[in-house]
Every structure is written in C-alpha cells, then in structure tokens.
Chain A
Amino acid sequence: MQREPDRDVVTAEPQLGDVLEDSERWEVRPSRRGRRVFVVYLPGLEPIFWALFSAGGFVAAILIPVHVAILGIAFGAGWLPGDALSYGRILHLVHNPLTKLYLWGLISLPIYHWAHRFRFAIHHQFGIHGFKRLVAVATYGTAVTGTVLAAWVLLRL
C-alpha cells in the first residue's frame, strides 16, 4: 500500500534496534519497498500520558493511603463514628460539585499511573518488544474507560 509521506510517518535508515529502544515510538513496520523503515508515531500523546502518570503517582502517594485506611480498614474494624458512612451523609457530601471533581481525579489518575507503568513493565521489564500499539491501546484504553465510567457515575449522582 502506497502512503503519502505525512507528519505521522517518519522515514529513516534501518536502525530497527535503536527505534525499538525508543519507547516514544508506538510501532515499527518494515517497508515493503527498499530498506526504509516506517515508524507510526503519534506525536504529542506521550507527554500527556507521562504527565497523567506523574499526577497519578502523586495522587496514589498522598491521597490514596488515607482513603484505603478509612474506607477499607477503619470502617470494617468499627473505628469510625456510627454515622460516618451513613447513606444520607455520604450522598450529601458527594452531591457537592467540588467533591465530584475531587473523586473524578482520585479514581482516574491512579489508573493512568498504572497504565503508563504497566506498559513500560511489559516492554522493558518483561522484555516483550512487540505488540506496542496493542499494549498501548489496552493500557491507556483501560485508563480512558475508567475516566469515562467515573465521570458517568458521578454525573448521575
């Protein structure tokens, strides 16, 4: 299939190993004609996901522990006052738009953190160098799905 050269296609001399090392490149596809290598590259997405990974790292470090301690452990252990998690009180709290915005970030950002980290783990720790696009779509797709689900649930509340 002939393709017009455009911004998404970078042609280079065959340096397949170099390109595979470069985690910003999503997929390496040998050309059918000659010795040129086509790199399908989505410019601009990697920094966005990196920023979301970083934000998710801070949310996971600073905010998640106290939430797990309260919801996961203190409630089950009976350390909370009786009405702390009562339906009416929590519903009232969650109806506040600021709480919704907070919960949206609290839920979605750690999933981006997982997605970015797990994608790197697959390629660089498990040593699987193929399926770059599939892995990216599966991991970031999960994160985007989580973001949309969280927004949907919060907007319906």
Chain B
Amino acid sequence: MFAAAFSVIMLLFLVALSRGPGAYRSFLRWLDTPWSIALSAIILGAVLYHTGTWFRLTTRILSIRLGHRTVSRAAIASGLVLVWIVASAVVAYFHIWF
C-alpha cells in the first residue's frame, strides 16, 4: 500500500517532467515542503518494514539445493541483504551522480 503510494508520487514526478521545466520546478518545490517529507518518512518506514518481513518470508519459502546440501536460511537472508545494498547503491549512483 505504501509502496503503491510511492508509485503514484513517481508517476506524478514523471508527469511533471513531461510537462516541461516549469511544471517540473513546481513539483520539486512540493517535494521540498515539510508535508511531502513527512509523507515520505512514513512511506520509508513502512517500506523498510516490508523489506524485513518480505526477506524473512522469502527465507521460509525459498529452498536452494547445491548438490546434496541445502543453503541455510541465514545464507539466503544474507544474500538478499547483499542484493538490497548493491541495488540501492546502483540506483543512488544513477539517480544522483551519473
């Protein structure tokens, strides 16, 4: 639900971008308001909670066999966290510095 709320924000961001520099600047001004930051903080909290529960769920469902051995739940969890960190770093790189 909160991730979908961010989808709406992202969609509005792209709509503003497509309508030219003026509309884009107004959208950035809205992103700068305390209301928008508070909303994002709520979404971020909820989404991080989702990340935790979703990863825990995945370790319960997913069973990876390598030869005769099954990969432990802790290893799957570590792998997911690693993927999460790398993906976040790549997104941040393209979003901010590229």
Contacts and interface: CB of A to CB of B under 8 A. Distances in A.
Interface of A: 56-73, 75-77, 80-81, 84-85, 87, 90-91, 93-94, 99, 103, 106-108, 110-111, 113-114, 117-118, 146, 149-150, 153-154, 156-157
A140 B45 CA distance: 26
Contact of B3 (A56, A77, A94): A56
- Place the interface of chain B in its size category: 35 or more
A96 B73 CA distance: 38
B1 A69 contact: no
B43 A68 contact: yes
A94 B31 CA distance: 19
A19 B39 CA distance: 41
B41 A73 contact: yes
A114 B32 CA distance: 27
Contacts, number: 138
Contact of A64 (B3, B21, B96, B98): B3
Contacts of A67: 6, 10, 91, 95
Interface string B48-92: 101100110000000000000000000000000001100110011
B54 to A, nearest CB: 4
Given A60-B51, A73-B37, 13 more contacts: A58-B54, A60-B54, A62-B84, A63-B88, A65-B44, A65-B48, A65-B88, A71-B95, A72-B31, A107-B7, A113-B4, A153-B11, A156-B18
Nearest to B23: A87
Contact of A68 (B47, B55, B96): B47
Contacts of B3: 56, 59-60, 64, 110, 113-114
